[in-house]
Structure 1
Amino acid sequence: MATAPVMKESPAAGALLRADALAVTYQGRRGGPPARAVDGVDLDVGRGEIVALVGESGCGKTTLARTLLGLVPPTAGRVVFAGEPLGYGARALKAYRRRVQLVLQDPTGALNPRHTVYDAVAEGLRIHGGASDERAAVAEALARAGLRPPERFLLRYPHELSGGQRQRVVIAGALVLRPELLVADEPVASLDASVRGEILALLLSLRDELGLSALVVTHDLGLAWNIADRVAVMYLGRIVEAGPVEEVLSAPRHPYTRALLSVLPDSSAPPVVLTGEPPDPTRVPPGCRFHARCQVLAAAGPVHPEAATACRTRDLPVLPGHGPHTAACHWPTAEP
């Protein structure tokens, strides 16, 4: 019977950002049980690495990303950046957010319609300071984001730009501070299919040319395949499978990952229709938190009663933040 490894590996030497036993709990409604939005997560992002965080809506991936950005303080565990635990004082957070920048999924909502492109990109410099030549820094950021020549865009307003150009402006606003890591929350979800590839290619070029790291939050495993070095699949507040993107997406070990992959347009596997909705985070089920919707358990549970009992009753350990392909699954097929 397969289980996730109990012993954690030490983080990779090149780890830039690390979630260490991270948990975020929200107070329940009307005195009810608390909601465990993030429920014990170890996750590393190495220097010059792109990691995709994948899962359904409501699985906790956006809360995890906001916690890694310092926008939500953890209930337990810690965020470690460049070997130092994140501090939550105003000065520490300001210094941290210069080095770690957020790219939102909706560029229209992220940009003030009354501000020119120049003002939108320069805003970070004006908050954090440190640019001897603001105009040159803004022009360089726009050029790096693919808006060339930058002089054509400086005095334009968001409504004068296409969706792809607006997203490039948002990326330029992050790049102007010369960060070490980007957290991109569904960076192409609001864009037409024709420009999604351009934005993904831009993120890859930034990694290759600047050594920039990125955590890309997405529900789209196809996007993860195209852009990520590693992928972490999240379900109900936990990472349930993680590893190099080629291994995870070519030979998934967790039934949830297999279900997500089965509905991709180019999948050769029959689509898996998961029954019901993800459980309420205020009532996380015992055992494997996916067992109530697991297609493997439903089909083969009577044949393997020991594994079925473990799925329903035995909790699984937190997966290590870095290392080889691992899955939090009691089922024998979790082993390669």
Structure 2
Amino acid sequence: MRAGGFGEAAVTQEHVMTTTSPLLSTTGLHITFPGRRGGPAARAVDGVDLDIGTGEIVALVGESGCGKTTLARALLGLVPPTSGRVTFGGEPLGLTPRALKAYRKRVQLVLQDPSGSLNPRHTVYDAVAEGLRIHGYAGDERAAVAEALSRAGLRPPERFFLRYPHELSGGQRQRVVIAGALVLEPELIVADEPVASLDASVRGEILALLLRLRDELGLSALVVTHDLGLAWNIADRVAVMYLGRIVETGPVEDVLTSPQHPYTQALLSVLPESESPPVVLTGEPPDPSRIPEGCRFHARCQVLASGEAARAGVADLCRSRDLPVLANAPGPQVACHWAATASP
């Protein structure tokens, strides 16, 4: 069991990875969008290697605008990569309508706002059954919907069949959204801020549900969040993203108890449970169409601003030399000139 101290009450997690081959993998992924009025293209995702193993939960963490939602959409086939590739089960992700339809039966999305995800004119039954109908399910639809609702914690499921979203609590609506994903028996769920819109009293319940589904069904998950406390409670690994690139990654305990990148340190410092003085980052993240030379974080870096990087002899490198894309690896990794000087 993890020690408490970050965000929600810690959730027991006795999970051991059963395979070393990734279920989903990205290699050298880049996604750019055309600039306004012929200006430079925005590099929303600027070189990402990321693995998600079978039965593994990975948290993708970063500020708004860092590229994490664009990356998640690319993993779902909603945004085509400019370069690089996405593979699932060892096979490249096809972008034809037929290939994407088959893929999206195996990979499902859970959005942040359950109210916006559910049609107010559809009953709970119809909301959950929609995926079955899209994919031409030939089995017992009623039984499949009931099982999905039951797995999502809405019991007895028949009690919810004819209810409408406005008749449910926020937590119940999010469970309906999760049931709509589960009904297709996916292998991977991409959850974009899955508890951000919920009351604190319900957040822990939804996190515990996601963990239970992983343990019972072997589900993998990518959880997109700005909340490191959530990552602490639910994830096996965490990937910290800044300006289109992962800048620190590793097992969640390693990254969150001993962060190496100044950006990760700053994110952790503002949590209520942090024992470090809060780090207030100056300015906003740079425009992704004008990524600075050198380390992309250097203009806001508290280590550089304090002179600590200069004392370590890396200040010029921070301002001038770009860092390589972090490769897929099981242990902690960091893209930081200063952190490299402190490594054994």
The TM-score bracket by the shorter chain reads: over 0.9
Runs (4+) of structure 1 exceeding 4 A deviation are none
Give deviations 1:218-273, integer Å, cap 9, x for gaps.
Answer: 00000000000000000000000000000000000000000000001100000000
Deviation of 1:323 after TM superposition, in Å, equals 1.8
Q: Do structure 1's residue 119 and structure 2's residue 129 form an aligned pair?
A: no
The answer to which of 255-264 and 314-323 deviates more is 314-323
Gapped regions of structure 1 (runs ≥ 5):
1-11
Q: Do structure 1's residue 294 and structure 2's residue 288 form an aligned pair?
A: no
How many residue pairs get matched? 325
Q: Do structure 1's residue 59 and structure 2's residue 62 form an aligned pair?
A: no
Give deviations 1:63-96, integer Å, cap 9, x for gaps.
Answer: 0000000000000001000000000001100000
Q: Do structure 1's residue 150 and structure 2's residue 187 form an aligned pair?
A: no
- Change in Cα spacing, 1:86 to 1:276, as seen in structure 2 (3 Å) is same
Q: Residue 195 of structure 2 aligns with which residue?
A: 188
CA–CA separation in structure 2 for the residues paired with 1:19 and 1:107: 28
Counterpart amino acid of residue 75 in structure 1: T
> Are the equivalent residues in 2 in contact too, given 1:131–1:137 (CA < 8 A)?
no
> Are the equivalent residues in 2 in contact too, given 1:19–1:321 (CA < 8 A)?
no
- Change in Cα spacing, 1:334 to 1:124, as seen in structure 2 (3 Å) is farther
Counterpart amino acid of residue 39 in structure 2: G
Counterpart amino acid of residue 94 in structure 1: K
| 1:207-246 → structure 2 map (5 Å cutoff) | 207-246=214-253
Normalising by structure 1, we get a TM-score of 0.95
Give SS of 1:197's match: helix
Q: Residue 30 of structure 1 aligns with which residue?
A: 37
Q: Do structure 1's residue 71 and structure 2's residue 51 form an aligned pair?
A: no
Matched-pair identity in %: 80
Gapped regions of structure 2 (runs ≥ 5):
1-18
Q: Residue 162 of structure 1 aligns with which residue?
A: 169
Deviation of 1:300 after TM superposition, in Å, equals 2.0
Deviation of 1:321 after TM superposition, in Å, equals 2.4
Deviation of 1:129 after TM superposition, in Å, equals 1.8
- Change in Cα spacing, 1:89 to 1:222, as seen in structure 2 (3 Å) is same
Counterpart amino acid of residue 198 in structure 1: E
Q: Residue 335 of structure 1 aligns with which residue?
A: 343
Deviation of 1:305 after TM superposition, in Å, equals 7.0
Deviation of 1:306 after TM superposition, in Å, equals 3.3
> Are the equivalent residues in 2 in contact too, given 1:22–1:41 (CA < 8 A)?
yes
Deviation of 1:334 after TM superposition, in Å, equals 5.4
Deviation of 1:14 after TM superposition, in Å, equals 2.4
Q: Do structure 1's residue 282 and structure 2's residue 289 form an aligned pair?
A: yes
CA–CA separation in structure 1 for the residues paired with 2:138 and 2:307: 62
Q: Residue 4 of structure 1 aligns with which residue?
A: none
| RMSD between superposed Cα atoms in Å | 1.1
Deviation of 1:335 after TM superposition, in Å, equals 2.2
| 1:317-336 → structure 2 map (5 Å cutoff) | 317-332=324-339, 335=343
Aligned partner of 1:99 among 93, 102, 106:
106
Give deviations 1:257-315, integer Å, cap 9, x for gaps.
Answer: 00000001100000000000000000000110000000001112574373000000001
Counterpart amino acid of residue 61 in structure 1: K
> Are the equivalent residues in 2 in contact too, given 1:225–1:249 (CA < 8 A)?
yes
Counterpart amino acid of residue 328 in structure 2: G
CA–CA separation in structure 2 for the residues paired with 1:38 and 1:303: 30
> Are the equivalent residues in 2 in contact too, given 1:23–1:75 (CA < 8 A)?
yes
CA–CA separation in structure 2 for the residues paired with 1:223 and 1:151: 32
CA–CA separation in structure 2 for the residues paired with 1:201 and 1:302: 41
> Are the equivalent residues in 1 in contact too, given 2:243–2:286 (CA < 8 A)?
yes
Deviation of 1:131 after TM superposition, in Å, equals 3.8
> Are the equivalent residues in 1 in contact too, given 2:44–2:243 (CA < 8 A)?
yes
Normalising by structure 2, we get a TM-score of 0.93
